[in-house]
Amino acid sequence: MKRIGMLTSGGDCQALNAAMRGVVKTLVHSKEDVEIYGFLDGYRGLIYGKFRMLTGADFSGILTKGGTILGTSRTPFKTIQDPDENGLNKVEAMKQTYHKLQLDCLVILGGNGTHKTANLLRQEGLNVVTLPKTIDNDLWGTDMTFGFQSAVNIATEAIDCIHTTAASHGRVFIVEVMGHKVGWLTLNAGMASGADIILLPEIPYDIDKVIDKIEERDRNGSRFTIIAVAEGAISKKDAKLSKKELKEKLKDRKYPSVSYEIAAKIQEKTGREVRVTVPGHMQRGGSPCPYDRVFASRLGSKAGELILKGDYGYMVGYRNREIVKVPLDEVAGKLKMVDPDSSIVKEAKLLGISFGD
């Protein structure tokens, strides 16, 4: 008998259910006796012992379902070792829940912060296998994360829809895409939708360079400009500030986000009409696209295989078109950033896309 705990942590995204289904179907298909304990709302469920027993029936019909049947929450790694409001040691509580239920393994689905905590639990002696979930595609050790392609599809469609109204009215449109620290989603959605300007956290922009591109398009007879802006896009001026100085500046920012600040500066300097669209959490929602359904199923199947072999302490990743196991301590705490000198950025520039640099 294998007793498996399972939880989803951090922001939700498409294909979480597909990935869990892949794990469970692999275990059940092996004919091994298995008990599945689903912890509710991420690490909170593990901390406070909130779970429900799951059967194969719980994973039937969820391949196409977005979100997560277990619920999720954010439990920041930086406070995971701080006592809760009642003085409870959260790490010790998670270990106690694990041992009380006599679990053989924890399957943890999540992004960067989730993997830091998963690696901590591994260091504390728990058997852990993780799956790379994030629409940001920013996890170290894997070429792709599930949820990313579905989010790219949604962000791309949003920008596609903006094209028609921007062209009709001859306006500058800014579409703000999710991504506070990393710009993979904005880069891919921007290229896929034919954005004229793409602003990323990794490539600080000069507002005058942005305006130069808009005016160049005007001179060439284009009545409109589409700008894809990552949530974490930053100006060259702000990029020179220390973290403390930037935090203080952002605290006093009069705009809802960087996109509105950019819009105001473009209007001020050019007199052009600028509109901002923010798809927001739409990018996390809905059914997973076919790519993510297949990809998450493959990752889940590999995780199930590792569990059956008793091969723990790994994230199941994707490298060079193959599903692989990656040591958790190589993954935790690292972000996969967009390299400003990467081939994809260079190719985008050859297409005439401006990054404001």
What digits encode the pLDDT tens for the residues 283-308? Answer: 999 999 999 999 999 999 999 999 99
Q: Does position 332 have pLDDT exceeding 90, yes or no?
A: yes
Beta strands in the chain (DSSP E): 2-8, 34-39, 51-54, 105-110, 128-132, 172-177, 197-199, 225-230, 274-277, 314-319, 322-327
Stretch 80-89: mean pLDDT: 92
Extents of the domains making up the chain: 2-147+288-331, 152-284
- For the question of whether the overall pTM of this predicted structure is more than 0.85, the answer is yes
pLDDT in tens, 240-295: 888 877 787 777 788 889 999 999 999 999 988 899 999 999 999 999 999 999 99
Q: Does position 213 have pLDDT exceeding 80, yes or no?
A: yes
196 is catalytic: no
What pLDDT, on the 0 to 100 scale, is given for residue 51? 97
What pLDDT, on the 0 to 100 scale, is given for residue 169? 84
Stretch 194-212: mean pLDDT: 96
CATH no. of 152-284: 3.40.50.460
Pick the CATH number of 2-147+288-331 from 3.40.50.1010, 3.40.50.2300, 3.40.50.450, 3.40.1080.10: 3.40.50.450
| Contacting residues for 154 by C-beta, under 8 A, at least 6 apart | 279, 282, 283, 285, 286
Q: Does position 238 have pLDDT exceeding 90, yes or no?
A: no
What pLDDT, on the 0 to 100 scale, is given for residue 167? 85
Q: How confident is the model at residue 166 (pLDDT cuts 50, 70, 90)?
A: confident
In this chain, the answer to whether the domains covering 2-147+288-331 and 152-284 adopt an identical fold is yes
What pLDDT, on the 0 to 100 scale, is given for residue 173? 96
Strand partners, 353: none
What pLDDT, on the 0 to 100 scale, is given for residue 247? 80
Q: How confident is the model at residue 17 (pLDDT cuts 50, 70, 90)?
A: very high
> Residues 136, 138, 196, 292: which is the catalytic one?
136
| Contacting residues for 147 by C-beta, under 8 A, at least 6 apart | 13, 14, 15, 16, 133, 134, 135, 284, 288, 292
Mean pLDDT of the chain: 94
What pLDDT, on the 0 to 100 scale, is given for residue 254? 83
Retrieve residue 31's tokens.
């004919």
